[in-house]
């Protein structure tokens, strides 16, 4: 079955860049048919769509994060990545990756990884 798993540092210093990877198993990103998404959830708050990428196209990003964000895909490793620069306390959140079916919403989610921004 399809599984997604986030990995990355649990603690980031203010002004640094966060790098997260979402490892995908059970389906090949390079086969197409899906977008691959990042979503985050600050403590005690709701979900925020960060962006998504198709294996052969440019990513789409949330404009609120536009200048700080980069999403990329590595089909050889079957994973996709999130880079978020100039981190502040407001970026403290659980970061989820998910599969975007394009027409049916987000059908498979990772368990999430907690990122705390603190010196």
Residues that bind other proteins (CB under 8 A): 37, 39, 46-49, 51-52, 60-64, 96, 98, 100-107, 109-112
C-alpha–C-alpha distance, residues 30 and 78, integer Å? 8
**Nearest distance from C-beta of residue 30 to other proteins, angstroms:** 22
Residue 15 or 64 with smaller CB distance to other proteins: 64
Helix (H) or strand (E) holding 2: none
**Nearest distance from C-beta of residue 105 to other proteins, angstroms:** 3
**Nearest distance from C-beta of residue 94 to other proteins, angstroms:** 9
5: which 2 tokens? 């798993």
Residue 31 or 44 with smaller CB distance to other proteins: 44
Residue 16 or 116 with smaller CB distance to other proteins: 116
Residue 7 or 15 with smaller CB distance to other proteins: 7
C-alpha–C-alpha distance, residues 48 and 112, integer Å? 13
Count Cβ neighbours within 10 Å for each residue of 18-44 and write b for 16 or more, e otherwise.
bebbbebeebebeeeebbbbbbbeeee
């Amino acid at each position: 079955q399809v599984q997604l798993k986030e990995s990355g540092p649990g603690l980031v210093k203010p002004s640094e860049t966060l790098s997260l990877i979402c490892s995908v198993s059970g389906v090949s990103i390079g086969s197409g048919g899906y977008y691959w998404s990042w979503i985050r959830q600050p403590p005690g708050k709701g979900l925020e769509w960060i962006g998504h990428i198709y294996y052969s196209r440019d990513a789409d990003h949330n404009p609120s994060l536009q200048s700080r964000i980069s999403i990329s895909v590595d089909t050889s490793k079957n994973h996709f990545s999130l880079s978020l620069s100039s981190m502040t306390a407001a970026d403290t959140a659980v970061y989820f990756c998910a599969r975007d079916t394009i027409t049916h919403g987000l059908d498979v989610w990772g368990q999430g990884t907690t990122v705390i921004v603190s010196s």
